[in-house]
Structures are given as C-alpha cells and as structure tokens.
Amino acid sequence: MLFSYNWLQSFFKGKLPKPEKLAEFLTMHSFEVENLKKVKGDWIFDIAVLPNRAPDCFSHLGIAREISVLTGLTLSSLLSEIKEDKDIKAKDFVLVEVKDKIACPRYTARVITDIKVAPSPKWLKDRLKSCGLRPINNIVDIVNYVMLETGQPLHAFDFEKISGVQNQKSKLKTKNIVIRKTKKGEEIVTLDEEKYDLDENILIIADIEQPLAIAGIKGGKKAEIDEKTKIVVLESANFYPQVIRKGSRIINLRTDASLRFEHGIDPNLTEIAINRAASLIQEITGGKVTKGLIDFYSKKVLPKKIKLDLDYVEGLLGVKIPKKEIKNILKRLGFKIEEVSSQQLLVEIPTFRLDISIPEDLIEEVGRIYGYEKIPKVFPRAALVPSAKNSELFWERKIKNILKETGFSEVYNYSFIGQKDISLYQFARSKEVIEIENPISSFNRYLRPSLIPNLLKNTKENLKWFDEIKIFELGKIFYKKEKKMLSGVLAKKESKDEEFFELKGIIDFLLNKLGISNVYYDQYKQTPEASSIKIWHSAKCAEIKIDGEEIGFLGEIHPTILEKTGIKEKVFVFDIDFEKLAKLSSEEQEYQPVSIHPSAIRDLAVLVPGGTKVEEVLNKIEVTGGELVRDVDLFDIYSGEEIPEGKENFAFHIIYQAEDRTLSSKEIDKIYQKIIKVLEENPEWEVRK
C-alpha cells in the first residue's frame, strides 16, 4: 500500500527522520517497506501492512501513529471543527432505516447544502495522485482523501437524485435511505458505467425505488455527484466484514473500500471520518453543514481491558524489560494503564486496535517496539528424551516395506461393508458381526469382519486396467473382537495356476525377513471363527503355521465368490493375523556368508496318488538329503493325458551344496539315489526315471 512522506509529515510539528531512516524504523519494528521512491518533491513508501493491522494501518493516520511510537514525535490531533447551520436540520432532509443490523452495525450521515462542485485544490490533487488515485472533483476527492487519511471509506450522494416523500412540516422532500439486502432481479449501474445483476442477499444502500450503491463496495450512477450538485448527503458506515467479502466475491468486484471493510474497521471511526470530510467540504466548497449527525449505532463498541502479568512478559520474550519501560511503550501505543499490583497491569485497548484481544498480543507489541534485536540469543534448554519404541508401529512399517520390495502396493479401504457383502460371505450367521447404529449409507452398514471383501472390490476394478494385481492392506477388523489383520491379493489376467506357489514364496520371503523360522503349511481346516465364512477354495488353500500355531491362511478364493463379485480371473489371497505375526517377529538376524563353493541342481519327478500333499514329499526329500540339500522347489504339478488316471506328477528342483567343499558328481548321485529309495518305500509313490 502506498503512503506519502509529505502527507505523513503533516501529522507532526517536529521533523520526521529522513525517508531512508524512516523506512528502516518501520521495517524493523512495524511493517516491511518493500519500496521507496522519490516522486516530484515527495517520497512514496510501498508498505506491506500485515492483515491483522489492516483495520488501523490501511491509512496515513495509522502509519503516523506507528511513527509517533517509534520516534517519540507528538502526533497532531485529527479532530475537525464544524460550524453547523442551526436553522436547517439534517433529519429534515434524510430519513435512514437500517433493516439488517448485523450486516450494518453503524450508519452515520450528514447533509451539506449550498456546495459548489469544482476541481480540487492542488495540494489535494497531489496527495491523491501520490497514492495512485485520479482526482475527479472536490467532493469525490475529499471523500477519497479522508479514506486514505483515516482508513474509513465514505460515499457522497447527490441529495436531489435520491427518491423520497414530501415532508409536510419542513415543506422539503425528505429522502429515504434504506440499508437492506437485495431482492430478486435487482440491478445497478455503478459509477464506472458497469451494470451488475445483483444476486439475492447482497447488502445495498437504496432509496424507496432502487439501489443507490453496493454497500461497502461501489457507488451507483443514480445519485452520482456532478457539476449541478448543490446538496450532498455524506455517508460513513460500518459493515460486517464477511458480508462485504461475500458480496465482493459474488459480483467479482474488489475496490479500495471493500478491501478495508473486508479486514474490519472500528465502528467508532465512522463519526471521526464523516466530521473530517464535512469540515473539508465546508472549507473547500463553502457549503453549509446542516445541524445534527444522523447516527444509527445498534450496539456501542467499548474498549477492551486485558490483564498483563509482567513475569509472563519476561517468560515469553526471554528478556527482562523494566516495568517503567513496558508502561511507557504501552502508553505510546495509545493504551491506558492501571496498576493492579506490583507485577500486574490492567491495560485498556483503544477500539481502533481490533487485533489486540489476549495478553500475548500485548506482549508482542512490547517486544516489537522494544526491539527484537535487543533480545539476547539463547539456545533453548530441554532434555531430549527419545520416545518409547512402539513395537506395533515398528513392525507395521517393516512389513509394509518388505511387501513393497516384492512388488505389492498398499491400499486403504473403508472399515465398513454392506448387506450384500454380509450375505455373499455368509457373515450373517455369526452374531458377532457389528451393525452401525447410524450408517452413512446402506453400503456402509456393518463394521468389516474381514479385509478380503473390500480387497476383492479393489481387484475387480483394477483388473479392468492392469494385467496383474498385487495389493495388500494392513488394518483393523471387527469380528468377535477388534484386531489387526494383514491381507494381500495376487491376480493375473492369464492365470497359469502358479500364483499359489508365487504367493507362497512371497510369504516365505516375508517371514524370513521378519526373522521367523519353523514355518510350514498345513492342510486347510475351517476354524470355529471362520466356520460361517466360505471364502477359500477347499482344494487350494493352506494354513500358515509357525511352531504349530496357525497365524493365517493362503489360498485361492472360492469360484462361487468370484462369480458373484463379477471377477473372471482366479484370485489368490493371504490373510494373516498381524498381532500374532508381530509377536513372533524378531529383529535379530543370523548372518550367513555366501558360500564360495558352487551348487548343483538335479530335477526329480514323483508320480503320486491324487490328493497327496506336496509337503509330505518335500519333507521326505529334505530329511533324507540332510545338510547337503540346500533347498527344494516344486516347479510343476501335472495330471494330463500321459499320467495314469487318479495320479499326479510332482516335479522338484533339488539344490545340493556344501559349506566346506565342492560336491563331486559321485556324492550328489549317492544322495540322489538315497532320496529315490526313501520315496519308493511308499508303494503308491513312483520316482519317474
């Protein structure tokens, strides 16, 4: 915002510091001076006034107050002398009615007769130009001048252009001014010839026929001041900031007046500003000010009082400022001081300081005027105590990172399911399903007893766009009791029935990274908890066990579920109890160096009766091979035309490796033959050669 150095000087009898020095004072203690330039014998300050100080410092008077505090110069009074004409009364000319007392808490008006509209004096034009405003005529220029001087926007109406009714007593036609909200279909042409269709509930100033101005934003063309104007109705009002901000946004029009009203203005400023403007009009135009101020003031705003504890000042600023200096600073700021005790002051805040409401605001004022540069730099003293380790959160992050390493993406779903899900997964048979008393919709009627239903919905939608889906979720379920589960989905558009083993490998990798051993996969048996939940394909599902304790399930989703959810592809899922998993996990990892000796791989195919568990064959191979069998991987299950009916062919990769030597072919053959012999001890098993 632009401010004139010469104008600021007019508030003081003493000489102001040089412009550069004054700019430094303001920047260090009040607001940053963003630019300073010399213009025709004057210096123009571009000051970034902070929003909280807009109510009192969007004006030359406000900046002059700051300068007075910083320099100690005495500020001249702005009180204006008005010589009212006792023979004519303002109330005989204008009748004001405020219909919305919240939107317009105060409205003042004065009537000035016998004016002569002409160009403004040079000094007035120069001051307006220095602040970026174009001079128009003496009445309009005075109104704009007082706004820049005091921060209070005003407006002048041509009395004779306002509609009204005949006053029988005074034989004058009394003009009606109504402050109200707009009606449907109303419009206005503003001073700049722009036409606005006004929505309902925009605050306007109107006569008995039509709008005269958009309140706090822009004047209308109807009552415009021109060369023929003889009588002026001067308006100075206070409007509720949100009302002006909303109206300005609706009609997409922002002005100097609306900018000030949007930030809030002291209601007590209206009278000061209108008297100042009336005094200047009387002085410059020779007009007569009618007797009386028309003043609607719904609820008078009084100064606030705040208790200030001097010990708290020291504690917050970090420096001990003498009591005498604190009192001096507050008095220079225009605050009234009363001592409550040796360490407490009762401070009365002038109404123009809308930004001061709590003790901390007062302390900030003391600090900035005292000078932040005087406050010594002291490092804070505090004991840095690390927070206790949250084991649950630690393992959550660890598990998520491991699964992301394997190509999985994490999803977050709502903790609710609908009636359709309850029926599909047959949760309704259990009395433990929790129904919400006030659900946001029918699709969110129950707390989820499993993560799987919502994960399958994710899978269905994502299979429309991707050939492979690898997602997981770690979240709470609500079934019998609240607990955390870890569930994941693997699905491919072109399934080759290898996904079960791929997912098993991922689970093995996860458990290994978590420091968990003694893992094996057992035949799937429905637990009492899951007895009513028919999710798994009974022939393609396994229980995940650690040291004999079941921690979850791994398998293919039942075809019936997939059909009813509209998923055509096979879907493989793991569902693990996170709380058990976290309890069994360990941060300790045993380091095993990579063997310098090469490994050897031999394949082995076993023909077994249908329904034989892979784990049975794997266990035989691993136990028989001993330490020299490093790993065994199942890579194929076949039951085609070349295989006798009722039989299946299991194909394994057997990896041989020793820690201390390179195994010879004879050693590997010996172990291989031993494995064959042990496998064929079962008369129903046949090793294919």
- Binding site listing: 355, 361, 364-365
Query: How far is Cα 159 from Cα 345, in angstroms, rounded to an integer?
Result: 50
Q: What is the DSSP letter of 15?
A: P
Query: What is the share, in percent, of the chain residues with pLDDT greater than 90?
Result: 72
Q: What is the pLDDT of residues 39-82, one digit of tens each?
A: 988 999 999 999 999 999 999 999 999 999 999 999 988 777 88
**Strands 468-479, 446-447: parallel, antiparallel or unpaired by DSSP?**
unpaired
Domain covering 391-584, topology: BirA Bifunctional Protein; domain 2 (3.30.930)
Structure tokens at 285: 């135009």
Q: Mean pLDDT highest for which of 197-206, 226-235, 584-593?
A: 226-235
Query: How far is Cα 296 from Cα 687, in angstroms, rounded to an integer?
Result: 106
Angle at 411 between CA 408 and CA 416, to 5 degrees: 145
Q: For residue 170, is pLDDT > 60? A: no
pLDDT of residue 253: 93
Spell out the alpha helix ranges (H) of 498-542. 499-513
- Compute the Cα dihedral for 304, 310, 315, 317 and give only its sign: positive
Interval 610-631 mean pLDDT: 86
Query: How far is Cα 61 from Cα 80, in angstroms, rounded to an integer?
Result: 14
Query: How far is Cα 63 from Cα 74, in angstroms, rounded to an integer?
Result: 13
CATH architecture of 2-71: 2-Layer Sandwich (3.30)
Query: How far is Cα 636 from Cα 656, in angstroms, rounded to an integer?
Result: 19
Confidence of residue 410 (pLDDT cuts 50, 70, 90): very high
Lowest-confidence pick of 288-292, 324-328, 607-611, 635-639: 635-639
Same topology, domains 2-71 and 304-374? Answer is yes
Interval 558-570 mean pLDDT: 92
Q: What is the pLDDT of residues 418-474, one digit of tens each?
A: 988 888 887 755 557 888 888 888 888 999 999 999 999 999 999 999 999 999 999
Amino acid (1-letter code) at residue 61: L
Structure tokens at 599: 């490994």
Interval 367-385 mean pLDDT: 87
Q: What is the DSSP letter of 377?
A: P
Inter-residue contact 84 to 291 (CB < 8 Å):
yes
Phi, then psi, of 362 in degrees rounded to 5: -65, -40
Confidence of residue 383 (pLDDT cuts 50, 70, 90): confident
> Which of 221, 215, 224 minimizes the C-alpha distance to 195?
221
pLDDT of residue 528: 46
Q: Domain coordinates of the chain in residue numbers?
A: 2-71, 84-297, 304-374, 391-584, 600-688
pLDDT of residue 216: 95
Q: Which superfamily is assigned to 600-688 in CATH?
A: Ferrodoxin-fold anticodon-binding domain (3.30.70.380)
Inter-residue contact 290 to 90 (CB < 8 Å):
yes
- Binding site listing for Mg(2+): 355, 361, 364-365
Q: What does CATH list as the number for 304-374?
A: 3.30.56.10
Q: For residue 168, is pLDDT > 60? A: no
Q: For residue 165, is pLDDT > 50? A: yes
Structure tokens at 625: 């091979």
3-state secondary structure of 221: coil
Domain covering 84-297, topology: Phenylalanyl-tRNA Synthetase; Chain B, domain 3 (3.50.40)
Which stretches does DSSP call E strand in 182-280? 187-189, 195-197, 203-206, 211-214, 218-219, 232-238
Which residue would you say has higher pLDDT here, 323 or 533?
Answer: 323
Lowest-confidence pick of 246-260, 334-348, 375-389, 500-514: 375-389
Spell out the alpha helix ranges (H) of 463-540. 499-513
Structure tokens at 395: 């393992």
Structure tokens at 202: 């925009």
pLDDT of residue 531: 41
Neighbours of 292 (CB within 10 A): 16
pLDDT of residue 527: 53
Phi, then psi, of 593 in degrees rounded to 5: -65, 150
pLDDT of residue 590: 66
Cβ-Cβ contacts under 8 Å for 616 (sequence gap 6 or more): none
**Secondary structure string (H, E, C) spanning 438-461:** CCCCHHHCEECCCCHHHHHHHHHH
CA distances to 94, 181, 289, 673 from 157, rounded to whole Å, are 11, 19, 15, 113
Q: What is the mean pLDDT of the chain?
A: 90
Q: For residue 172, is pLDDT > 70? A: no
pLDDT of residue 430: 53
Which residue would you say has higher pLDDT here, 387 or 212?
Answer: 212
> Which of 149, 151, 72, 78 minimizes the C-alpha distance to 331?
72
